[in-house]
């Protein structure tokens, strides 16, 4: 918490600041905002009036920066930094990305500088949130949520990013090199619905570098099971469990045995 100087007295900020960086897709998202407290006040429809532009926090305007292109609620947003303003409403919020990031509050906000506006529905939260919170949730490789939480209100913004074409191109390029990423490529193909025959070839090549690695055997068994070859998956996972027991690696004993049970 940063302090402020007032006639030689150092005091904490009334609204603490927070910076969050979230890895997303192949890039990062960085949020900077200040966090006011409710202090018994009515927030939405009160301190933050309905129908008026709100700084979405306190002090300087909240900012959000993307290193890669994303979509928010289906709207394309190029990489860059934006001020995040909102217009709260009882049944509908307007979310605003504004191109002017360096401003205090919303006092000098200009709609002409907006990059994007879209509407979302707020939801009521049973839990009382004392401190205004922006957080990332349900973060997956290509989707995530930004959640705005305060008082008894929650607003969720759905994010998505398209990285598949870039990952596939990087795999193709890396496979032309001297050190081929067999294991990582096989995992990506498995998890993203790609050619499982190719994934099986690659995991088999990866296995040659360390034949007693139980994690290689686990992933090979997963690929075999997804291909519908249950007998091969069971045989591979049994071998994985055996070497894991020899190495006293309880985690991979458990994972391989769980796959055997699934395949049966």
6 against 105, higher pLDDT: 105
Q: What is the mean predicted confidence (pLDDT) over 180-189? A: 96
107 against 157, higher pLDDT: 157
Is the confidence at residue 233, as pLDDT, over 70? Answer: yes
pLDDT at 7: 62
**Alpha-carbon 4 to chain mean position:** 33
In the predicted model, what is the mean pLDDT of the chain? 93
Q: Measured between alpha carbons, how far is 94 from 66 in angstroms, rounded to an integer?
A: 20
Is the confidence at residue 1, as pLDDT, over 60? Answer: no
Task: Quickly state the pLDDT bin for 213 (edges 50, 70, 90).
Answer: very high
Is the confidence at residue 3, as pLDDT, over 60? Answer: no
pLDDT at 105: 80
Condensed to tens digits (0 to 9), the pLDDT of residues 142-167 reads 999 999 999 999 999 999 999 998 89
Q: Which of 8-17, 93-102, 110-119, 203-212 is predicted with the least confidence, judged by mean pLDDT?
A: 8-17
Is the confidence at residue 264, as pLDDT, over 60? Answer: yes
263 against 8, higher pLDDT: 263
pLDDT at 6: 55
Q: Give the C-alpha distances (Å, rounded to integers) separating 145 from 4, 134, 226.
A: 33, 10, 29
Half-sphere exposure of 101 (CA within 13 A, CB side): 9
Q: Are 241 and 233 in contact (CB under 8 A)?
A: no
Task: Quickly state the pLDDT bin for 9 (edges 50, 70, 90).
Answer: confident
Q: What is the mean predicted confidence (pLDDT) over 117-124? A: 96
Is the confidence at residue 8, as pLDDT, over 80? Answer: no
């Amino acid at each position: 918490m940063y302090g402020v100087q007032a006639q030689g007295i150092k005091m904490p900020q009334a609204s603490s600041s927070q910076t969050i960086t979230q890895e997303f897709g192949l890039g990062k998202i960085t949020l900077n905002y200040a966090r006011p407290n409710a202090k018994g006040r009515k927030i939405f429809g009160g301190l933050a009036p309905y129908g008026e532009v709100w700084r979405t926090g306190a002090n300087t305007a909240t900012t959000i920066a993307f290193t890669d292109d994303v979509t928010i609620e289906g709207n394309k947003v190029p990489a860059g930094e934006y001020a995040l303003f909102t217009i709260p409403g009882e049944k509908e919020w307007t979310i605003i990305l504004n191109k002017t990031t360096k401003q205090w509050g919303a006092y000098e906000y200009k709609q002409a500088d907006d990059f994007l506006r879209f509407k979302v529905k707020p939801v009521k939260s049973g839990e009382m949130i004392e401190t205004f919170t922006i957080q990332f949730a349900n973060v997956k490789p290509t989707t995530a949520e930004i959640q705005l939480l305060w008082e008894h209100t929650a607003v969720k913004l759905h994010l998505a990013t398209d990285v598949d074409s870039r990952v596939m191109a990087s795999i193709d390029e890396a496979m032309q090199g001297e050190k081929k990423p067999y294991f990582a490529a096989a995992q990506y193909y498995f998890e993203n619905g790609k050619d499982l025959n190719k994934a099986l070839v690659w995991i088999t090549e990866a296995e040659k570098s360390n034949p007693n690695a139980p994690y290689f055997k686990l992933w090979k068994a997963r690929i075999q099971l997804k291909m519908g070859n249950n007998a091969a998956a069971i045989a591979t996972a049994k071998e994985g469990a055996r070497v894991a027991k020899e190495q006293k690696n309880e985690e991979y004993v458990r994972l391989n045995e769980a796959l055997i049970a699934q395949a049966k």
